Structure 1
C-alpha cells in the first residue's frame, strides 16, 4: 500500500470516527437522561421514534459498518465455528490456531467432562425446566455448589444460569440508594450494570490503584450506609491482576464489603488453579463475595457466588436472577463439576498454562510488540494503537491461519485498540512461535 493510499485511509477513518463518536455521545446522553429522570420532550407525537433504527446506538453501528466498507475491511466478528474450540478451531472447513477461546485448561470437550454431561442428560434431561425454588433441585446442582465452596474454603456457593446476570442480579439486589459501589475503572460491564440497577451511588477508581481507592473512601465513606468494593482477579482486557492484600486491608479499615470477580482467574492463578487468593497466599474468607463464571475454566455455562452462609442463604431466597430464573441445566452443572474436579486433580495443566502464557508474553515483547500491563497469565493483549490497525492485523492473521479477535473503540480508547490473545494449556510452543512470527512481520520486523 502506497503512502498516498495510507493517507486516504487515515482521513476516511478519522471522518468516520467522528460520526461514531457523535452517535455514541447521543446514546450516552439518552441513557443519562433516562437514569436521571430528566423530563421528556412534550413536542407532540413522533411516530418515527417508535422505530429501533432511530436509536443513536443503531446509527453508531451503521457508522462502524460504513467505516469497514470504505476501508475494505472484512468484519472479523460472528464467524461460524464448527466443532469444539480450544487451541485450534475449524471455520468454513479450515483449521485455525485459535486464541479466541476461554477454554483455559482444555476442559470443554475433554472426554471425562463430555461423559459427565451426557450422563446427566440421560438422567435429568436437558433442562431444569423451572426455578429451583418452585420446581425443586437436582443433586448435581448442589454437588457443584458444595464443590465450589470447598474449593474456596468458604461456607457455601450458589450457581446461576449466566455469568453476566450473576453480577447484575447480586449487586443489584444486595445494595440500594443509601449505599456506595466503588469499582475498578476497567471493571466488567456486568459489574457496572449491577451497580446501576441497585440505585446505589457508583464511583470508579483508577485501574488497580488501591491508594486512590483508599483516598476516595477516606473522603466519602461517611456519607453512605453500606459500601461495596468490586475488583477482578484477572482483568480480561489487560491480563493483569490486583494486589489483593491491599484491597482487603482497605475494605477492613473502611468497613466495606469486598467482591472479587474470578471469571478469568479461576484455573489460571494459584498453584492448583484456585484463583487469586491462592496466588497471593491469602485466606479466601477475607473476601466477602467471590464471583466467577463456568464458561471458561469450568467448561460449562453460568455463574456462581461463593461466600458465607448468610450471604448464600439470602441470595438463594431473594436474588431475582436466581429466584425467578430457571435453574442451571443439570448437564451444564455436571460438566462444570467434572471440570472443577479435573482442575484440582491435574495441577500440571495449570502449570503448563502458566508456562505457555509467559512464553507468549516473552516472545511478543522480544518482537517489539506492545503487550501493555499483561502479567502473562492466559490473557495477553497486543496493543495496535488504532481500531483500523487492529482490524487489519486480525484479518492478516486470519489469512495466515490464526484466529485472534480485535478490540475496537468504544470498548477501549482508540489509542488502546488491540488484538487480544487467550492462551490455553493446550497451546503448543510451535503454535505460539508461528503466531509471533506473523505479528512481527505486521509490526515491521522480521
Structure 2
C-alpha cells in the first residue's frame, strides 16, 4: 500500500510547465510504489501494465488530492491510461481552478488579465464526440475483438421472455445472462397484475408522486417491501442505479465520510462522488480493515456511512454482515446494504441477507434493493425507519423531481413479492440449482473464485481474449453467457459470469458444465 509521502511540486499558475511538474510527481509516486528508479518509468505505458491493484489506484488518487490540494475522482487511474494523459488532465484542472479563483478574487473582472490571457487552439476532442478520447479507445477495443475473428458479445438481440432459455436468431439457447432469479418475469400471475394496473391507472402516473402522481398501488408496494425486509417503511424510486445515486448524494455531504467496499457497484460510487463527502475504500469484505479505518478517521467527521452489498455481482460472494454491524455500532456510523442480488435469493424465504444471517433488520440503517431482478419489474427502493423514508420522500431530488414508478412496474413488483411469500419453494429450488452448478464446476477443476451460496457463479479464466473466445464457443453450442473482462475486472480475473435461476433444470446445468469444460480445454490447448 502506498504511504502518504510529502512531495514538493513547483506548480505556477497558468503555466504549461505544470504538465512536466505533475509528470515528475507521478513518476516519483509510481517509482516508489514499484520500488524502481524514476528513470525506469515510462510515461506512455498503461497503468494496468504496472500491475497496480484497485485499492492502490484509489489510494494514489487520494494522495494526489492531498499533494495538489484539489478534489479528484478516486477512479483517476482507470479514467486515464498512463502518466502522460493523466498529467495533461491534472494540469488542465489545476490551471482552470486557479484562473477562476484569480478572476473571482475581485468584485469586477480583471480586464487586463483577460486580455493578456494566452489563448491556444481548442482541440477537436473538446467539442466533437467523434474525437472524444474515451470513444476512440472504445472503438479500438471493439476493433480488436473483431480482428480476432470473434463475434461482438454485446447488444445481441434476444426474443421472448428472458428465463432459463432465450431465443437469438430463431435459435433456442440455455440462458445464464438474466437476473430473472425466481422466474417471476413471464409468469402469468405477474403479467396479469401488470395488465390490470395498466387498465386501471394507465401506462404512466404522469407526475411526481409528491404532486399528483401518488397511487394506492405505490403505497401497497412499499408496505409489502417493508414487511418482507422487516423495516418500518420504504420508498420506491423509478430506477435501481438512480436509487443509490439519489439517496447517498442527498443524505451525506462535505462534512461526512463514506467508507465503501472496494468492489461496490458503480451506482454506489457515483452517489458517493456526487455527495462531496470524503471517500475511503476498504479491501473487499475485510471488516477488520474497515474497523481500523474508522478508529483512525471517525472523529474527524460528522456523519459516517459504511456501504456494502448483500451479494457482489462480479463474484457471487457474501459479506459477513454480523461483523459489519458490530463495527458500525462501535463507531456510531450508518450502515447501508445494497441487496440488488441478494433479495429474493438469500434466506429460506428469500428475505435477503438479513434472513440469511438471522440479524435484526433494524441493525441496518438503509436497506437498498432493486425490483428488476427477483421481482420482475424495474425500479429500486430504500427501506428503513419512518424518519429516513419520510425525509427522502419530501426532499430527495431523485424522488421529488422524478415521475413516480409506472403502474405496470408497480403492479408487477407487488404481485411478485406476494407470490414469493406464497411460494417460498421458488427460493429453495433456486438455491439447489445454484449449489449444483457450483459443486459441479468445482469438481471439474474450474476456478470459481469467491462464489458461494448465491445465484451467481463466476468462472475465472485469467485473460480477456480467452473469456471472449469461450463465450463464443459456448454460444455456438447453444449456451448464452456473457464474458466479463478488463477494465470491468482486472485482466488476470477475466471471467464468464453465470446467473442461475429456479427455472434451470438439472439436465441443463449438467450439460452446461460438461460443455464448459470441453470448450475451455480446447481453448487452453491452443
Which runs of no fewer than 5 residues in structure 2 stay unpaired? 1-44, 50-76, 100-116
Partner of 2:258: 181
The 1-side partners of 2:380 and 2:291 are apart by 29
Q: Among residues 342, 362, 368, which one is paired with 2:419 in the alignment?
A: 342
SS state at 1:82 partner? coil
SS state at 1:443 partner? helix
Q: Among residues 137, 156, 168, which one is paired with 2:245 in the alignment?
A: 168
* Aligned length in residues: 431
Matched, 1:143 2:208: no
Q: CA deviation at 1:70?
A: 2.1
Q: Among residues 259, 278, 282, which one is paired with 2:355 in the alignment?
A: 278
Partner of 2:172: 95
In the TM superposition, what whole-angstrom CA distance separates every residue of 1:264-289 from its partner, at most 9, and x where no partner exists?
A: 00010000000000000101111000
Greater relative contact order: 1 or 2 (C-alpha under 8 angstroms, separation 6 or more)?
1
Mean alpha-carbon deviation: is it higher for 432-441 or for 269-278?
432-441
Partner of 2:153: 76
Q: Among residues 488, 493, 514, which one is paired with 1:437 in the alignment?
A: 514
The 1-side partners of 2:130 and 2:315 are apart by 34
Partner of 1:394: 471
Partner of 1:133: 210
The 1-side partners of 2:118 and 2:266 are apart by 33
SS state at 1:304 partner? strand
SS state at 2:521 partner? coil
The 2-side partners of 1:34 and 1:214 are apart by 37
In the TM superposition, what whole-angstrom CA distance separates every residue of 1:294-341 from its partner, at most 9, and x where no partner exists?
A: 000010000000000010001001111100111000110010010011
Q: Is the 8 A contact 1:384 1:417 kept in 2?
A: yes
Q: Is the 8 A contact 1:350 1:425 kept in 2?
A: yes
CA 1:32–1:94: 2 relative to 1, 3 Å: farther
The 1-side partners of 2:386 and 2:295 are apart by 30
Partner of 1:366: 443
The 2-side partners of 1:363 and 1:218 are apart by 43
Q: Is the 8 A contact 1:131 1:327 kept in 2?
A: yes
Q: Is the 8 A contact 2:213 2:404 kept in 1?
A: no
The 1-side partners of 2:256 and 2:331 are apart by 13
Partner of 1:44: 120
The 1-side partners of 2:517 and 2:456 are apart by 19
Q: Is the 8 A contact 2:146 2:152 kept in 1?
A: no
In the TM superposition, what whole-angstrom CA distance separates every residue of 1:60-103 from its partner, at most 9, and x where no partner exists?
A: 20120121122112111100011110100111111110000000
The 1-side partners of 2:454 and 2:344 are apart by 10
CA 1:34–1:364: 2 relative to 1, 3 Å: farther
Q: CA deviation at 1:43?
A: 4.2
SS state at 1:313 partner? helix
Q: CA deviation at 1:125?
A: 0.7
Which runs of no fewer than 5 residues in structure 1 stay unpaired? 1-13
The 1-side partners of 2:253 and 2:326 are apart by 24
The 2-side partners of 1:376 and 1:166 are apart by 26
Where does 1:132-281 land on structure 2 (aligned, <5 Å)?
Answer: 132-281=209-358
Q: Among residues 378, 403, 406, which one is paired with 1:329 in the alignment?
A: 406
Q: CA deviation at 1:32?
A: 6.9
Where does 1:378-389 land on structure 2 (aligned, <5 Å)?
Answer: 378-389=455-466
Q: Aligned Cα RMSD in Å? A: 2.3
Partner of 1:9: none
The 2-side partners of 1:376 and 1:114 are apart by 29
Q: Is the 8 A contact 1:27 1:55 kept in 2?
A: no
CA 1:323–1:185: 2 relative to 1, 3 Å: same
In the TM superposition, what whole-angstrom CA distance separates every residue of 1:404-430 from its partner, at most 9, and x where no partner exists?
A: 000010000000010000000010011
